Amino acid sequence: MIDAAPLADAGARRRRRRRPPTALLKHGALLLFLSLMVYPLVWMVVSAFKPAHLILTDPGLIPAEVTFENFQEGWYALNRPFSLFFVNSLVVTVGSILGNLFSCSLAAYALARLEFRTRRLFFAITLVSVMLPMHVLIIPQYIFFSQLGWVDTYLPLLIPKLLATDAFFVFLMVQFIRGIPRDLDRAAAIDGAGPFRIFWYVVFPLMRPALVTTTIFTFIWTWNDFFTPLIYLTSTDMYTVPVALSSMVSAESQQGIGMLFAMSLLSLLPVILFFVFAQRYLIRGMVTSGLK
């Protein structure tokens, strides 16, 4: 294509090379790479539509037989419609997002912008709390929540989010806030704005990419979280999607693969849709947020 371009007009050629071919090349490379990356997922999608006993024995991409029985079986596998677990997951996820956005942004603003004596200590504590493996924390935490009588409710999953215990996001937001020029705060301060107004009118709107990122990650991580809901939610009616999914493959026999794939696929759909929707807000970010 490039070679076929007329040599006569160098300017025109440069223009042409600039626009479509580089874009085409880019698309080609990205598509190739993408297909490599998502191949395993495509395999999973195809497998979900295969009869369960053929998934492992006939692993090709073109199914010899297409069936919806994995979905039908999986949907009622736990004696109740799978939609119940979707609703449960949604409650936990939305609650966690709100909690994280609220609590982490407040804490991050204080740690990134305000001057107070214990700031560095607090910042260090934030970091340290993500360094300890959760497995040694889960039992003391469970004992605490169990004494409050919160077992088999969603409170142990939600209250910690409302209290900024997800240090990852506090740190993430601190880093973003520190990327925002201080001149803006100073200008607002000179106009007489206090820390609250600066936070609410200046910093918070500029944190949008970080807030969107937090939303995306909280959604995905909470939606996929397995261990915490497993420990705290004991009745099947309270299960979130991953706990319900885990019941489908048992360690003793691998019978549920078909169902597992089918239901995993369904459980991925909301996350994918949410991601595609939310990442649009990443695109805008700074450009529309008023900073010129």
Nearer to another protein, 67 or 246 (CB): 246
Nearer to another protein, 3 or 224 (CB): 224
Give me the least distance between CB of 66 and another protein, in Å please. Answer: 19
Nearer to another protein, 17 or 178 (CB): 178
Give me the least distance between CB of 102 and another protein, in Å please. Answer: 7
Amino acid sitting at position 173: M
Distances (CA, A) of 125 to 134, 172, 175: 16, 15, 16
Count of CB atoms situated within 10 Å of the CB of 10: 9
Give me the least distance between CB of 67 and another protein, in Å please. Answer: 16
Give me the least distance between CB of 12 and another protein, in Å please. Answer: 20
- CA triple 72-73-79, angle to 5 deg: 110
Phi-psi region of 39 (alpha: psi -120 to 50; beta: other; left: phi over 0): alpha
Non-local CB neighbours of 19 within 8 Å, separated by 6+ positions: none
State how far the Cα of 160 lies from the Cα of 146, in Å rounded to an integer: 14
Distances (CA, A) of 16 to 25, 27, 59, 72: 13, 16, 45, 53
Nearer to another protein, 6 or 194 (CB): 194
Nearer to another protein, 78 or 97 (CB): 78
Give me the least distance between CB of 2 and another protein, in Å please. Answer: 18
Nearer to another protein, 66 or 131 (CB): 131
State how far the Cα of 113 lies from the Cα of 120, in Å rounded to an integer: 12
Instruction: State the number of CA atoms in the 13 A half-sphere of 270 facing the CB.
Output: 18
Nearer to another protein, 81 or 179 (CB): 179
Give me the least distance between CB of 88 and another protein, in Å please. Answer: 10
Amino acid sitting at position 213: T
Give me the least distance between CB of 8 and another protein, in Å please. Answer: 25
Q: Residue 255, SS3?
A: coil
- The candidate with the shortest Cα–Cα distance to 228, out of 128, 142, 131, is 142
